[in-house]
Structure 1
Amino acid sequence: MESPSSLADRYVAVWNETNAERRKSQIAELWITGGRHYVGDREVEGYEALERRVRESHEKNVRDNANRFRAADDARRVHDAVVFHWEMLPASGDAILARGLEFLIVDGSGKIVADYQFFPA
């Protein structure tokens, strides 16, 4: 089974990915087909909705505002739950602009079944 920190790093990499086809592939590698993502009042389910959600966040935060995401060094796992914080920083700096908490439910193969994003953390 993949380490929690490796999963956190791969998760954050999706939100930073500039190439749409690679991003789609990474989403399929991380989530199950009917994977769900929750943030605030928003709920998305399935690859198409996940791709749209990640693309919108990427365009707003990474492409348009020149930021990047990284996983904090605190990922941990208990049975089928993985939790970690993520941080948004300027592309060329280390000042933390935002911080969120990710709570993932994974299946036996380590793919994300449900993704609960708490922002701000």
Structure 2
Amino acid sequence: MDHIVEKYLATWNATGDERTKLITEHWADDATYTDPLAEVAGHSEIDALIDGVHARFPGFVFTRVGEADAHHRQLRFSWGLGPEGAEPLVIGFDVLVTDESGRIADVRGFLDQVPA
């Protein structure tokens, strides 16, 4: 499951063709993503959501915080968002569910710490 978390965070950090490739390879065609600020479905909406995060937090990167916990086809892990090499300004955790082929099918995100 660590591989899935790595590709998931890589997707959030990528831009352009690299992100398109990651989404195509590692996310189910009808994947959904829901957090307190967004609810989207499908590759194009997920891509647009990530673009919005990049616009709001330019130069910030997503990093894993701690270890992932997994069972069956679902996993949860904490992440941070902030300037590279610095303490994260945003901290949350996500629950990912994969489809039968191991692609990300559903994401439920929670925000634990957000800037004022």
Structure 1 runs of 4+ with >6 Å offset = none
Give 1:16's match in structure 2, choosing from 10, 13, 31.
Answer: 13
Tell me if 1:54 matches 2:47. Answer: no
Give 1:6's match in structure 2, choosing from 3, 6, 18.
Answer: 3
Q: Secondary structure at the match of 1:72?
A: strand
For the aligned residues, what is the CA RMSD? 1.5
**Contact 1:5 1:73 survives alignment (8 Å):** no
Give 2:66's match in structure 1, choosing from 57, 64, 73.
Answer: 73
Query: Where in structure 2 are there 5+ consecutive unaligned residues?
Result: none
Counterparts of 2:108 and 2:66, CA distance in 1: 19
Tell me the TM-score normalized by structure 1.
0.84
Counterparts of 2:37 and 2:18, CA distance in 1: 28
- The structure whose residues are more often strand, as a share, is 2
Query: Where in structure 1 are there 5+ consecutive unaligned residues?
Result: none
Q: Which residue pairs with 1:105 in the alignment?
A: 97
Tell me the TM-score normalized by structure 2.
0.88
Counterparts of 2:36 and 2:66, CA distance in 1: 24
Q: Which residue pairs with 1:33 in the alignment?
A: 29
Aligned residues, how many?
A: 113
**Could you tell me the percent identity over the aligned residues?**
25
**Contact 1:5 1:76 survives alignment (8 Å):** no
